[in-house]
Structure 1
Amino acid sequence: MFRPLFVFVGTRYTRAKRRNHFVSFISLTSMLGLALGVLVMILVLSVMNGFDREMRTRVLGMVPHATVESATPIDDWRSLGERVLKNPQVTAVAPFSQMQGLLTHEGKVQKVLINAVNPQEEAKVSNIGGFFVQGRLEDLQAGDFGIVIGDKAAEKLGVGMGDKITFVAPEVTVTPAGMFPRLKRFTVVGIFHVGVGEVDGFIAMTHLQDLARLRRWQGDQVQGLRLKFADLFQAPRVAWELAQTLGDRDYYARDWTRSHGNLYQAIRMEKAMIGLLLLLIVAVAAFNIISTLVMVVTDKKGDIAILRTLGATPRQIMAIFMVQGTIIGVFGTAIGAVLGILAALNISAGIESLESALGFKFLDSNVYFIDYIPSQLMLQDVLLVCGAALLLSFLATLYPAWRAARTQPAEALRYE
């Protein structure tokens, strides 16, 4: 099969088994360095994508995209929900009420935010149903004063299914004997595990009517509506517009960017910054090709001179060394891409096995918002990393190839 001269010679130089084995070793280390940079970049970007995905599906699946609330109890939430659903950006609504306080059991205390929900309606706006380890959301029945808590809260309080816990409300009841805190006994009917310390430790759920009775409201009165959007990034604008246009009372809106927006933006910024830093590592590995080719040019001066005397043009000489450097870049990038894809697909299981072997948890959910290493491999990230590595590898060939093309045959052969 016919191959151009520069391709034939360039591939022969890449193998370079004849005289200088040190040059071959440098070529190999350049290739492996580039492969390692590509591997690490694909792996880290996949992990950052995983954190981004878990933030959307777990945290923002539990936290409402937005809420429309009122300072006074809302009597007819169904008609309000029908008006809100007329907005094309809103895909579902559900009523809710909230109350902060303390849960106590046998002298143990845990702060809690109780979300009172309608179990049938809540499934439309929340994915909590998929995280239950015991019980289910439908076990919350009006009048039973049942409560659903996270596994971290259950562990801290030392309670399980069917146990009684006491909720201490941040209000007092005035009696002739004095002021006493408002207390209510709840029965644990469900335990969930989301994997997010903030949710598993401090969020609880009960039935809307039970919390209404505790707050001395009518059974059908609620604090507001939880909204689910087709595009959660539209939540701040649309929720504010809805609160302004409903108009029959003073409604106000809250959205996820106020409660978890900083965390989400931090993840996005970290991905960009880490990607940039890792790209510099790839650049360092790619520019090792420069030193490799400079050494090859020095080693092959006699060969270059002979090729020039046989009629090779400076352009062909330059192409020879560009082919050699590009081959190193292509093989290094390909090896790194394959290993990076395999690592990204197996990092979660690998870290989990390592944690089991060491008996140590790398991510503590009390510190981080999830307690495991997620990973999501995205094709565009792989293509971007490989493209950047190939481009840097090609650019690294230009200077050594230019030096080779400037070699003067007489000077090179003087001492041969």
Structure 2
Amino acid sequence: MIAGRYLRARRKEAFISVIASLTMVGVAIGVATLIVVMSVMNGFRAELLTKILGLNGHFTAYPIEREFTDYKETVAALEQIDGVSFAVYFVEGQVLASGQGSSTGVTVRGMDEENLKKLKLLYNAAEQGGWDAWDESKGVAIGYRLAQTLGVSLGDQVQIINPNGAMTPFGSTPQIKSYPVNVIFDLGMVEFDSFFMYMPLEPAQDYFKLTEEVLKPGAELPQAGPLDPPLTNEQLEQYYDRVGQATAAEIFIDDPDNIAVMRQRLQADPSARPLILTDWQQRNETFFSALQVERVVMFTILSMIILVAAFNIISSLIMLVKDKSSDIAVLRTMGATRGSIMRIFSITGTTIGVIGTLSGVVLGLIVAANAEPLRAFVSNTLGVAIFPPEVFFLSSLPSKTDPVEVTVVVLLALGLSFLATLYPAWRAAQYDPVEALRYE
């Protein structure tokens, strides 16, 4: 009751009440800022992880010892291993893509429709066109940002140039081919939307010279006379098999964090051919380690806001104790113990911290849940690009609130608020009633 009366200001104590209110606001801002920033960083990491691992497997398997012509059998064997969700094979190469007067380097991946359907993130991201009859389309799929860079749209021709072309007496000549744009996709990640191009598997194998014609087992070519016409392509197909190669395979597992155990299973499988495995943690170790360090540093720095608010609780309580010195003396002469005096001022200061913390939690959760609309509103109002996708890789501001982190923030704020009350409350309990009332 007494602590509550001390929180409600009378006219002559309005200044102390204003300081207490500002302290409460400071705690609320500190808590809300921590929750919002940690939620955005969690969302940023989760979104990047989803996008990166939505297209790139948890493991990338590269063939060794012999050419990767048995890619279908290898993928089928990998998918039978316990813990493997699915696997895909692909052809990959670096080329120069040219459109309407603009050129840029891109990564070309050749995949058939069966494997594309396994990549739900990509398959469902088609904004223009579609993946129907993909294997027979003889076209390409590009991200919408790459389409903007090249100045092309659906149905336009894209020219791709590979420096490792045909060998001539004068050296290697670039290989140049044009393909129509059949699909434009939007993955929401700048890296993939700007630098990846997909084409059907067989055209990609032909373009990167990963095919060869092998004489069918038991087949013998007919002996042609000097005046006989050469065999046509249709006739040659009766005697030769087309054998293509893949560059590598991507393996997707059920638990992305279970890398060590799954590596052992994949390497121990006797039915799988020799492969070199690289996992997503190895490929992105520097990036995600930097994100983790940044989260820890940001949490530490922003915690200082709550610490500053805790110091404000100390200053406001010291002023309150000074102002209530005569009240403390009267209470002591009426039989109040030093413990009672300490409890009064501890409750007063802790109440400031509790109200500020709860207000900050509510504010922080509201802002974190509406991070992207608020970013868009502020960006449109000020005319300034906030969270530009070219820098942060994502086209929107993600947010993911972690209940554990919110609990840690709340406990931190309440703990600092309580600790801030101990010294002023102890000083109040040490007041000598005789000295306090001498000049009253």
Same fold (TM over 0.5): yes
Note the C-alpha offset of 1:332.
0.7
1:152 and 1:261 mapped to 2: Cα distance? 27
Residue identity matched to 2:293: M
Quickly say closer, same or farther: Cα 1:373–1:386, change in 2 above 3 A. Answer: same
2:357 maps to 333
Q: Deviations over 1:298-320 (max 9, x none)?
A: 11010000000000000001100
Larger radius of gyration: 2
2:45 and 2:82 mapped to 1: Cα distance? 26
1:178 and 1:66 mapped to 2: Cα distance? 37
Partner secondary structure for residue 12 of structure 2: coil
2:355 and 2:201 mapped to 1: Cα distance? 62
2:164 maps to 171
The share of aligned pairs that are identical, in percent, is 34
* Range that drifts further, 248-257 or 369-378: 248-257
* Range that drifts further, 92-101 or 133-142: 133-142
2:125 and 2:405 mapped to 1: Cα distance? 30
Note the C-alpha offset of 1:164.
0.9
* Contact 2:74/2:273, CA 8 A, preserved across alignment: no
Note the C-alpha offset of 1:287.
2.3
Partner secondary structure for residue 45 of structure 2: helix
Is residue 293 of structure 2 the alignment partner of residue 269 of structure 1?
yes
How does 1:337-416 map onto structure 2 within 5 Å?
337-416=361-440
2:329 and 2:153 mapped to 1: Cα distance? 84
2:175 maps to 182
* Contact 1:55/1:264, CA 8 A, preserved across alignment: no
Q: Deviations over 1:279-328 (max 9, x none)?
A: 12111112210111111111101000000000000000110001101110
Note the C-alpha offset of 1:94.
1.1
User: TM-score, normalising length from structure 2?
Assistant: 0.87
1:80 and 1:109 mapped to 2: Cα distance? 37
How does 1:5-404 map onto structure 2 within 5 Å?
8-71=1-64, 72-142=66-136, 144-175=137-168, 179-216=172-209, 217=211, 218=242, 220-235=244-259, 238-239=262-263, 242-243=266-267, 250-404=274-428
Moved over 4 A (4+): 243-250
Quickly say closer, same or farther: Cα 1:80–1:249, change in 2 above 3 A. Answer: closer
Note the C-alpha offset of 1:195.
2.4
* Contact 1:68/1:243, CA 8 A, preserved across alignment: no
Partner secondary structure for residue 187 of structure 1: strand
* Contact 1:146/1:207, CA 8 A, preserved across alignment: yes
Partner secondary structure for residue 404 of structure 1: helix
Quickly say closer, same or farther: Cα 1:94–1:266, change in 2 above 3 A. Answer: same
Quickly say closer, same or farther: Cα 1:241–1:183, change in 2 above 3 A. Answer: farther
Note the C-alpha offset of 1:156.
1.0
2:157 and 2:366 mapped to 1: Cα distance? 48
Residue identity matched to 2:76: E
RMSD: 2.1
Q: Deviations over 1:248-286 (max 9, x none)?
A: 754212222343332222222211211111112111112
* Range that drifts further, 191-200 or 160-169: 191-200
Partner secondary structure for residue 171 of structure 1: coil
Residue identity matched to 1:109: S
Residue identity matched to 1:205: Y
Note the C-alpha offset of 1:241.
6.0
User: TM-score, normalising length from structure 1?
Assistant: 0.92
Note the C-alpha offset of 1:125.
4.2
Unpaired runs of 5+ residues, structure 2, are 212-241
1:224 and 1:237 mapped to 2: Cα distance? 21
